[in-house]
Amino acid sequence: MMYQITHATTQEIPIIQELTNQIWPATYLSILPQAQLDYMIALMYNTEELTRQLTSDHTFLLIWDGERTIGFAGYSPKEEPGVYKLNKIYLHPDYQGKGAGKFLLNTVIDTVKATGAHILELNVNKYNKARYFYEKTGFEVYEEKDIDIGNGYWMNDFVMRKVL
């Protein structure tokens, strides 16, 4: 299968939001309550927040299978020199395990390496099976972090890093 990658702009915010609404329940409902899922989507994927990210130092990529957008990734430089943060990478469940996620991740890696970055960092929920995908692609647990996201909710994450 041949996938295409494009840079997202504020014009594609509705596509990112639609994908989030399709992907997040499949990804998180087995590990997070529905109310927390709804809260996190409203907090992190509202139009204002996505616009802020897309018009600052965040880069969003969309992955396409023909005319269908099947996932996205977002990354940005950290204050630590040479370190980038993979803020999000999500793939429609129909495409998981078929090489599309690896293609998208490798595109991010190649892009940040070209800027001189030497570390790519991400957070993953401790119980998210995507952790095994990250380990398979060379990420290692760097630290554990419990993040208070408000409303009585916490993100219980592993911070993982890959040396590029």
Which residue range is the domain that position 66 belongs to?
A: 4-122
On whether residue 158 sits in a domain, the answer given is no
On whether residue 58 sits in a domain, the answer given is yes
Sheet order of strands, 83-91 included:
4-7, 59-65, 68-77, 83-91, 119-125, 153-163, 140-150
Residue 89 near residue 73 (C-beta atoms within 8 A): yes
Confidence (pLDDT) at 126: 94
Statement: the pTM of the whole predicted model exceeds 0.85: yes
Q: How do residues 36-95 score in pLDDT, each as one tens digit?
A: 999 999 999 999 999 999 999 999 999 999 999 999 999 999 999 999 999 999 999 999
On whether residue 73 sits in a domain, the answer given is yes
On whether residue 101 sits in a domain, the answer given is yes
Q: How far apart are CA 13 and CA 28, in angstroms?
A: 21
On whether residue 38 sits in a domain, the answer given is yes
Q: Read off the CATH number of the domain in which 37 is found.
A: 3.40.630.30
On whether residue 79 sits in a domain, the answer given is yes
On whether residue 116 sits in a domain, the answer given is yes
When divided into structural domains, the chain yields a total of 1
Mean pLDDT score of the chain: 96
On whether residue 144 sits in a domain, the answer given is no
